[in-house]
Structure 1
């Protein structure tokens, strides 16, 4: 049977279509028929779906429940409630709750409220979605507000946004603009002291690579904890000066501290992973990780000894990657809100044309400099800027690693 034939049958003789929905039919026939039904006419008899809700194959049960939901008929409330409680599949149970919510019926409220106590967060979230239609109902609002203490972070975030949302800042300025005196400026000074004079919410994008922990002559710290504390202080200030919902791109990687002597081992510090909890705590939202892959010849060989003796446990791969950890200043506003702050002309001029990076690995050759041992490749800067900023945005680097490149690519 074709999709066209199914369409003809569903708009005509339900009984004829019922033959194809008989539970004794093979799985392929049932799946194809259920999947191709599309929108159902108002007079469609859903009785053919009920037996299929107990079919042994999960995907058949799921489609049967989904088609019942299309009918938006309250007479199926009891069956759907039973399925939402008893089915062994989370997907089927969730679809049952979705079908109940789709009815937008006040008679569904008690069932949806009961589902808020389900142990599966996906069921709870679907019930919340169904209840938010009635969020002006005092009972519904009271039950939903209780979930602010739910152990699941996604559920808490939804409730916080709906009922306890507070302005992220008191900043009332133009989202697209920044103070002119901050544009095209290089400041030589203590970063923590300099940041104190930068106005709140004045930066659109920060792209930086922090100084290495005791891996370069210019960055000596008493301890690794002291180093992390320093970065925490800097990035807390970066959070303050970043505009609502804008991005912070942190380029870093695990580093190796050479061994003191042959009687001691070298030490490898997972900097990006140790910094991450601090960033989340201070109000950054993790968005993505991008892996910068460099050619093998550009990295220090760690395998010379292992190639000689080949003994297990001593293997240490040569590190040819660095991370670009992508964070966004936490807000309940969607990315669309940030985009809408710009005029049509700016959005059009900022569009990303040509080839785009569809995966999270970027193969870019490193840059070497006689006076600076850790320079951003211009290509790396260009990719970050085109993906995470608009034309005339203010871009910031608290550690000054990338201004040599910025001056050539016409960014503020």
Structure 2
């Protein structure tokens, strides 16, 4: 793989957005250096709480308590709101989980080795063993309380969802995708995402999306499928606009932006994932900026 152009930047320097860029660093550190009102849309899937250990310092998702996790994300998205244009939108994909029953580990899985964890948070206060935690809606309400307009929830139905071994509840086969806006009035191009209706013609986009999971072969962690985020980008931006993903991972948002003629700004803490994203998005043609921690 050709090495990308890499620029190192000091902690004090302001960042600019002139072209599609991957910023390697902590989300808060990078966001605080991005110009206000510089991106039209944000599409992201933050780490889920207690479900993955990505093996890197300062990662989000292994906070000792669920309120700490929620507050960490609220802090990140408060900085996202500053970077967003006044008529911009935020789309957040977030999954749920069950209490661990105070087990401090999770066993590996032949089909998913990354599932193994040597540390897991205790059962949150007020919840019982085997409780569904309700994290997506807890986050959505926390962001609403922090000033975001909660505009809609999308149910991402996964027709090819992995089977579960549980025998005392239905197999979970969906996640949530929330749409927020910074202001009461915002840009939304409904014509760009109209769907074919029964009997012919077009209808407005609906709130249940049937989309198969489509893992990226180069990654050992979950990535959201391009078709989940394509409607978000098409409805919320025009060609040439900037789309931000503060948890860039393997760069799916960048991939869709390239296909749809948008610019992207990706922030990723883990250098191994930055390398995956660079390879996926064209190697030497990507600009990578390493941002020192605050």
Structure-2 change in CA distance of 1:227 and 1:353 (3 Å): closer
Gaps of 5+ in 2: 1-14, 55-60, 105-127, 197-202, 264-294
**Which protein, 1 or 2, shows the higher relative CO under an 8 Å CA cutoff with sep ≥ 6?**
2
State the match for 1:322 in structure 2.
175
- Superposed CA offset, 1:15-34 (max 9, x none): xxxxxxxxxxxxxxxxxxxx
Alignment of 1:2-401 (within 5 A): 181=17, 183-218=19-54, 219-259=61-101, 260=103, 265-295=129-159, 297-303=160-166, 306=167, 315-331=168-184, 334-335=185-186, 338=187, 351-352=192-193, 355=196, 358-369=205-216, 370-401=218-249
Q: Which has the larger radius of gyration?
A: 1
> Which is richer in strand?
2
Normalising to structure 2: TM-score of the pair? Answer: 0.63
Q: Does 2:279 match 1:411?
A: no
SS in 2 for 1:268: coil
Deviation at 1:378, TM superposition (A): 1.1
Equivalent pair of 2:92/2:179 in contact (CA under 8 Å): yes
Equivalent pair of 1:252/1:324 in contact (CA under 8 Å): yes
State the match for 1:83 in structure 2.
none
Distance in 1, matches of 2:145 and 2:82, equals 13
Gaps of 5+ in 1: 1-178, 307-314, 340-346
Distance in 1, matches of 2:169 and 2:244, equals 36
State the match for 1:19 in structure 2.
none
Distance in 2, matches of 1:289 and 1:377, equals 18
Equivalent pair of 1:283/1:330 in contact (CA under 8 Å): no
Deviation at 1:386, TM superposition (A): 1.3
Distance in 1, matches of 2:154 and 2:241, equals 22
SS in 1 for 2:155: strand
SS in 2 for 1:379: helix
SS in 2 for 1:272: helix
State the match for 1:5 in structure 2.
none
> Which is richer in helix?
1
| Matched length | 208
